[in-house]
Every structure is written in C-alpha cells, then in structure tokens.
A and B are shown apart, each in its own frame.
Chain A
Amino acid sequence: MVALTAPPVERPAEPRRRNKPSRRLSPLLLAFVLVPLAVEAFWVFWPAIQGVYLSFTNWDGISPPTNVGLGNYTEMATDPVFGKALLDTVIWLVLFGGVSAVGGLAMAIFLQRERRGVGIYRAALFTPVVFSLVATSLIWQAMYQPDGLINNVLGGLGLESWQRSWLSESGTALYAVIVPALWRQVGYVMVLYLAGLKGIDPVLYEAATVDGASKWQQFTKITLPQLKSVNSVVLSVIVIDSLRSFDVVWSLTKGGPFHSSELLSTYMYATAFQSLRLGYASALAVVIFLLAFGVIVTYLVRAFKESDS
C-alpha cells in the first residue's frame, strides 16, 4: 500500500477577514450595556455595599451611624435568637429544599409522558406558583386556625388528640409554615425538571431498553446524569428561595411564637424595622448573603470541576 505522504503543504496565511469589525463600538450597543449597568449599580450594587458598611455600625435609622467595628458580628456569637434563627434556616433549607427537589423531580417524571389529561395535573401543580405567597398564606392561615379546616377534618376523623393551634404552638409553627411554602415550590421545581427531561434524547432510553436495562437503571444511569445542568439551576433556586423565604413566615407567624419559627430573614426584618437596630440587621443580611453565595459557589465550582475531568 502506497503511503500517501502528502508533502507538507504550506498552510496558507490566515485569510484576511473580510468583515473586520470596526474597533469602534456602536453607541447603541454601548448604551445597551452601560444603561442597565448604571441602573444595576445604582439600585443593587450601591445599596449592597452600603449594607456591608452599615453592618459595621450602630444605626437607629435616624441619627448618623456610629462605627462599632466587628461588634455586630461578635454579638451574633452570643445571641440565642440568632442561633435559633440559623438552626431554623438550616432546617428550612433541608426540609423545604429536599422535599421540593425530590417531590418536584418525582412529579416531573410522573407527569412527563404525554397522556390524556396530563396537562390538567401539570397545571394543577403549577397553579400555586401563580398565586402571591401572601395570598397563599391567608388561605393557609384560615385552615390552621384553632377551629379551621384542618382541625375540623381531624375532629371529623375522630383524631381530636391530634388537634393543635398549629401556628401558635412552638413545636408545630415552623413546620406549619413550611407546608404552604412547599405547596408552592414543588410545582415550580417540577416545571424546571420537566424542561430538563424534555431535553434528554429519547434514543438513549431506546438503546438502554435494547440493552435490557431496568427502569431503575435507566433512571440512575441516564436520567440523573442528563439532568446535571438542571440540578444546578434547581439547587441555586432552592437555596436562594429558602434564604429569602420571608413573606410566608411573616404573614403566618411573624417568626413567633417566641422565635420558634424565626428564620434569618424574619429576624433581620424584625431587628431592622421593629427594634430599629439597622446596624445589627445589616450584619444579619451580610450573613444571609454569604450563606447563599457560599453554598452556590461551592456547588458550581464542584460542578465545573466534574465536567472538566
């Protein structure tokens, strides 16, 4: 066999690009970049930086702030309410995040295949997302009342001993607040996963079926790895949503009774606008920011490393 050794062809010099972009940016383009940047800087970055500055001060919102250095942060170490709020936030993150991720994925898989009437179920699960959380809270508040729907149903079933003042007992308040939040979040996560599932090439499943893979193997070896990119979105959404969960807690319990459903977000609000200790509240806000940022960055770094290797 004749080896076709083509003489090394002098590679032609890079052809001159015909449409060399002009060095000058079009003013319109510049405006598209700079105007939103300016708006963002004014409405987001500047207040955020001010918040960090305030976290090193003592400020009542009226007189000029006085510098206290790290005083607000050292106070947190000995503040029992901060400890309780941090613990509740972790419980919230795990329960709210875990259940909504697993529940959302399960619902998405369940409702993925086109069947008759499946649209109705999807719509039903997604409907709570459309409601404002405050409206949602009002409905749930009525159900949780001492003589509300839940206790009436329990009474009707002969389970009087299970009846509680759900929102005003320290043992049940936090969990009673998580339920309405979950009721809403599951639908949202389901939609994200549905989108991810639609993006998986059906050929993969066909090949797996031909190879005799079981449903469970298909799920663990195809579905989950293929959903990796959606997972990172879901995780970010869940972490951010749990750390900023405020409206539902504030409208149902205001973090009470006696701080038993206190989250970092509600504690921050109460410190700022009820106790008027805006410096300490800013320090709490910085902690919330670091937590959210930390969790998400760690995850993203790991995700990128995995995709590189």
Chain B
Amino acid sequence: MSIDGLSRRNFLAGLGGLSAAAILGGCATSASTGTGQAGGAVTLQSNLSAPLPKAAMESVVAAFNKKGAAQATLNTVASETFRTQLPSYLTSGNPPDLYTWYAGSVGRSYAKKGLLLDLSDVWSGLTDYSAATKTLSSDDSGKQIIVPITYYWWGMFYRKSNFAKWGVQPPTSWDEFLKVCEALRAKGIEPIGMGAGGTTPWVASAWFDYLDIRINGATYHRELLAGQHRFDDPQVKAVFAKWKEVLPHFDKSATAIPFQDATTSLLQGRTGMMLIGTFFADAAPKDALDDIDFFQFPIIDPKVPIAEEGPTDGFFASAKTPRGPEVKEFLKFLATPEAQELFIKNSAGTVLPVNPKAKDSGTPLVAKGRKMLADAADITQFFNRDSSDALQPTADAALLQFFAQPDQVDSILATWQAAAEKVWQS
C-alpha cells in the first residue's frame, strides 16, 4: 500500500472540499432565517419531528394557507437540535417568526430577556380558553407569550389483555400498587418499565415529579424547582425513601434503554406497566392501541390535594418578527376548534385540544385521561417545563445515580443541590 497516495494534490482537493462545506454550512444557517422583510410567509420552526405529529402539523399549515389570510411555511427540526438551537434562533438578527414550545416556566426566561412577542391581543380574542391556561401562558409581568393548542396526560399505562392474563387489577393506593408489583414479579414479569436510557434520561423525572406532588403537593414541587427549597431538604428525602420501596420492581433495563424501546417491552408483555406520557402512542402500532389502558399514579397521602402532570404544548413568536399581524393571524387560527381538531385527527389522537369547544378523538382512553386532568385539583407541567431546560440535566444525573446507588441518597441530593444552584444563579 502506498502512503504516497496522499499526494499534495489530493490534500489540497480535500482542503478545498472542506472549506466549500464550511462556506455552504454558513449559507445554510443564514438562509434558514428568511429575508427579514415585512410581508412574505410566516416561518414556523417546529420540533414535532416524529412522523405522526409532523404530518399533523403539515395538515394544519396547509389548511391555514388555503384560507388565504396569510401564508406560512413549516420548517421541522429534530427536537434535540431545536432545543439546543432555540437561544441562537431567538437572538439571531433575522429569526424565524413562530416556534413550537411549552407553556409554563420554561418559556418565561426568554420573555424576561425581551425576546418574545407580546400576544395579549391574540389572547383577548380567546374567550373560550380557561383562566388557568391563561395564567400558564403568561410571563412574570402578566403578558401572554404563548398560545397553547394541545395538552396530554401522564399515567401508568398497561395492556388490558396482559393484566387480565396475569390476574391483576389496576391499583389505586400505594399499598395496592406494591401488591401488583409483587404479583407480577412472582409471575416472572418485570413489573415496571421506564426507558430512561439512551437519549431519553428525562423520563425518570416523571417518577420524581409524581412522587413529589403525591407526597409534598404541587405547590411545594413548583417552589422546589424554582429554587425556593433545597433538593437536600427532608421533604425531598422522603420522596426518595418512598421511591426505594418500589425500586426493586423496576425493569433491570430501566436506565439502559430509551422510552421507545421500553414501550416495545411493555407492548410485548416483558414489562407490566410504565409511567409515560401519551406521546408514546406515536410509535405504537395501531392495533395495540385499542388494548392500552392506564391508571392514575397511585395516591400516597390522601391529605395532599391531587395534582396531575398535564403538559401543555403551543407556540410563541419572536419579538423581532417583521410579520406581526400575519403571525397573530396564524396563532388565532391555531386556537380555533377547527385547527385543533384537524391536528388531532392527523396525529395519533392521544392529545387533548386546549380549546374547550374542540372535540378530542373520542376514544374511551382519551375520555378517561381528560376526566383525570379535569378532576385534578392542580396541574403540573413536567420537570423541565416547570423549571428550565438547564435544570433538567441536573435531575437526569441525580436520578440515574439513584438507580445505580440507592444507598447514596444523601450525597446524591447534596450534589444535585450544588448543580442546581449553579443553574439558578446563572
């Protein structure tokens, strides 16, 4: 083999190729931000990259464009890329106009920096939306910054046919829940699947959220995430003490596989149940969906008002958009029952419309989920949505370490607190 094969010419050609790629890359980022002049289509940057929600979003944009009031173009980005690039999008000289994002605390830091368009006049027309939704969509100064269109629920999902085969009933209290776990374990089934491995370590936070709102309540939970309590408080230690009771019943791959694989395990009956949001259905085969049911996360302390996780998804806009009227026109359309029903019809159908006048997909599963959220005394969003995306990695590290070293809770929580303080202070 000749080493001389790497001639100077080849080398230069390679360099040329590299720099061409670099220049093209530069063009690509600058081109995606649009022309920056008023008029023209509203650019919508979407993180709904799973096939079903992406198709649903496409259908909504097409319906809006057909009405002719204004035009919109959809640009779908992988959600991990979207999340890391969002600050760059918003601060660039020429940002996209509209973005998919989440209601709750996670958008407010951008509003505080003046990056988001004030949507109060859109909201003045949304008379059907509930007051709670309005509060959730407001920034610290009371302006509305986001228009939510769908929400969903988390629950302990299982296959009805499998529970019947194993002879267990969905539990309601913590003690019953432990008994179900033991019964499944005795049958050689891994009782609880999770899927906090690979690219989805955040799934473990659902357990932390639910145990905390069941034991300490939603108010304490939100204050904790806002930095008003400490992660090494006795209240938080109580959460982990409770968690330890079920820890042996978790699937041994709980922290090794992503939630998509954990879903497969659940559907194939290798695991018994799984605490997950309804988005898992996007990847599930249609025939399995009819066999899916869920139960509410078991009640631990009946004195604590019942709260549920009900994450709400919507859209916010860049403060720098030169197409304010068109953006608001599009947001008004997104808030209509027509747009939300269209979105639900073209997706897996497990999300709920925020507009109370819009119909959901009407399946018994969705009706049950909707009722659970409607009956709840309080709604939390999710760990990162109730705090910030920057705090999420600190939770991932702490919770995965808890799974590996459950006896080290005190030092894990001290480390978590130290890491969280850095995020709160920055």
Q: Give A contacts to B, CB under 8 Å.
A: 39, 43, 58, 60-63, 80-81, 119, 122-123, 141, 145-146, 165, 167-170, 191, 194-195, 198, 254, 256-259, 270, 273-277
Q: Give B contacts to A, CB under 8 Å.
A: 1, 3, 19, 22, 84, 87-88, 90-91, 110, 113, 115, 197-199, 201, 252-253, 255-257, 389-390, 392-393, 396-398, 400-401, 404, 415, 418-419, 422-423, 426
> Which chain B positions have C-beta within 8 A of A258?
396-398, 400-401, 404
Q: Helix, strand, loop or mixed for chain A's interface?
A: loop
CB atoms of A165 and B255 under 8 A apart: yes
CB atoms of B426 and A256 under 8 A apart: no
CB atoms of A170 and B423 under 8 A apart: no
CB atoms of A61 and B91 under 8 A apart: yes
Closest B residue by C-beta to A195: B3
> Which chain A positions have C-beta within 8 A of B110?
62
Pick the contact of B257: A39, A145, A256, A274 (CB < 8 A): A145
Q: How far is the CA of A162 from the CA of B253 in the complex (A)?
A: 15
Q: How far is the CA of A63 from the CA of B91 in the complex (A)?
A: 9
- Interchain nearest-CB distance for A82 vs B (Å): 11
> Which chain A positions have C-beta within 8 A of B426?
58, 60, 275-277
> Which chain B positions have C-beta within 8 A of A123?
1
- Interchain nearest-CB distance for A271 vs B (Å): 9
- Interchain nearest-CB distance for A250 vs B (Å): 10
CB atoms of B256 and A165 under 8 A apart: yes
Given contacts A165-B253, A273-B84, 17 further A-B contacts (CB under 8 A): A39-B19, A43-B22, A58-B426, A62-B90, A62-B115, A63-B113, A80-B418, A119-B1, A122-B1, A168-B256, A198-B3, A257-B397, A257-B401, A258-B396, A258-B398, A274-B390, A275-B393
Closest B residue by C-beta to A59: B426
> Which chain A positions have C-beta within 8 A of B113?
62-63
Closest B residue by C-beta to A272: B84
> Which chain A positions have C-beta within 8 A of B392?
274
**Given A60-B426, A165-B255, A257-B255, are A275 and B390 also a contact pair (CB < 8 Å)?**
yes
> Which chain A positions have C-beta within 8 A of B401?
170, 257-258
CB atoms of B253 and A146 under 8 A apart: yes
What are 13 pairs between A and B in contact, CB < 8 Å?
A43-B22, A58-B426, A119-B1, A141-B198, A146-B256, A254-B199, A256-B396, A256-B397, A257-B397, A258-B398, A274-B84, A275-B422, A277-B390
Which one of B1, B199, B393, B396 has the highest number of Cβ atoms from chain A below 10 Å of its Cβ? B1
- Interchain nearest-CB distance for B295 vs A (Å): 27
Give the 6 A-B CB pairs with smallest separation, nearest first: A165-B256, A258-B401, A195-B3, A168-B256, A258-B397, A257-B400
> Which chain B positions have C-beta within 8 A of A257?
201, 255, 397, 400-401, 404
Q: How far is the CA of A170 from the CA of B84 in the complex (A)?
A: 26
- Interchain nearest-CB distance for B2 vs A (Å): 9
- Interchain nearest-CB distance for B207 vs A (Å): 16
Which one of A39, A58, A145, A167 has the highest number of Cβ atoms from chain B below 10 Å of its Cβ? A145
- Interchain nearest-CB distance for B176 vs A (Å): 30
Pick the contact of B390: A63, A146, A276 (CB < 8 A): A276
CB atoms of B87 and A62 under 8 A apart: yes
Which one of B19, B90, B390, B423 has the highest number of Cβ atoms from chain A below 10 Å of its Cβ? B390
CB atoms of A275 and B423 under 8 A apart: yes
Q: How far is the CA of A298 from the CA of B88 in the complex (A)?
A: 39
> Which chain A positions have C-beta within 8 A of B418?
80
- Interchain nearest-CB distance for A246 vs B (Å): 14
> Which chain B positions have C-beta within 8 A of A191?
3
- Interchain nearest-CB distance for B314 vs A (Å): 21
- Interchain nearest-CB distance for A120 vs B (Å): 10
> Which chain A positions have C-beta within 8 A of B1?
119, 122-123, 194
- Interchain nearest-CB distance for B23 vs A (Å): 10
Closest A residue by C-beta to B251: A146
Q: How far is the CA of A221 from the CA of B400 in the complex (A)?
A: 52
Q: How far is the CA of A273 from the CA of B87 in the complex (A)?
A: 9
Q: How far is the CA of A257 from the CA of B198 in the complex (A)?
A: 9
- Interchain nearest-CB distance for B333 vs A (Å): 30
CB atoms of A167 and B256 under 8 A apart: yes
- Interchain nearest-CB distance for A123 vs B (Å): 8
Q: How far is the CA of A220 from the CA of B41 in the complex (A)?
A: 71
> Which chain B positions have C-beta within 8 A of A61?
87-88, 91
> Which chain A positions have C-beta within 8 A of B87?
60-62, 276
Closest B residue by C-beta to A63: B113
Closest B residue by C-beta to A147: B253
Q: How far is the CA of A168 from the CA of B401 in the complex (A)?
A: 10
CB atoms of A168 and B397 under 8 A apart: no
- Interchain nearest-CB distance for B420 vs A (Å): 10
CB atoms of A274 and B393 under 8 A apart: yes
> Which chain B positions have C-beta within 8 A of A119?
1
- Interchain nearest-CB distance for B157 vs A (Å): 21
Q: How far is the CA of A167 from the CA of B91 in the complex (A)?
A: 36
Q: How far is the CA of A61 from the CA of B19 in the complex (A)?
A: 27
Q: How far is the CA of A191 from the CA of B115 in the complex (A)?
A: 52
Q: How far is the CA of A191 from the CA of B2 in the complex (A)?
A: 10
- Interchain nearest-CB distance for A116 vs B (Å): 14
Pick the contact of A194: B3, B198, B253, B389 (CB < 8 A): B3
Q: How far is the CA of A81 from the CA of B418 in the complex (A)?
A: 11
Q: How far is the CA of A62 from the CA of B91 in the complex (A)?
A: 6
Q: How far is the CA of A274 from the CA of B388 in the complex (A)?
A: 10
CB atoms of A270 and B404 under 8 A apart: no
Q: How far is the CA of A167 from the CA of B400 in the complex (A)?
A: 12
Closest A residue by C-beta to B388: A276
CB atoms of B390 and A256 under 8 A apart: no
Q: How far is the CA of A119 from the CA of B201 in the complex (A)?
A: 44
- Interchain nearest-CB distance for A35 vs B (Å): 11
> Which chain B positions have C-beta within 8 A of A254?
199, 201
Which one of A145, A198, A257, A259 has the highest number of Cβ atoms from chain B below 10 Å of its Cβ? A257
Q: How far is the CA of A257 from the CA of B196 in the complex (A)?
A: 10
- Interchain nearest-CB distance for B378 vs A (Å): 29
Closest B residue by C-beta to A253: B198
> Which chain A positions have C-beta within 8 A of B257?
145-146
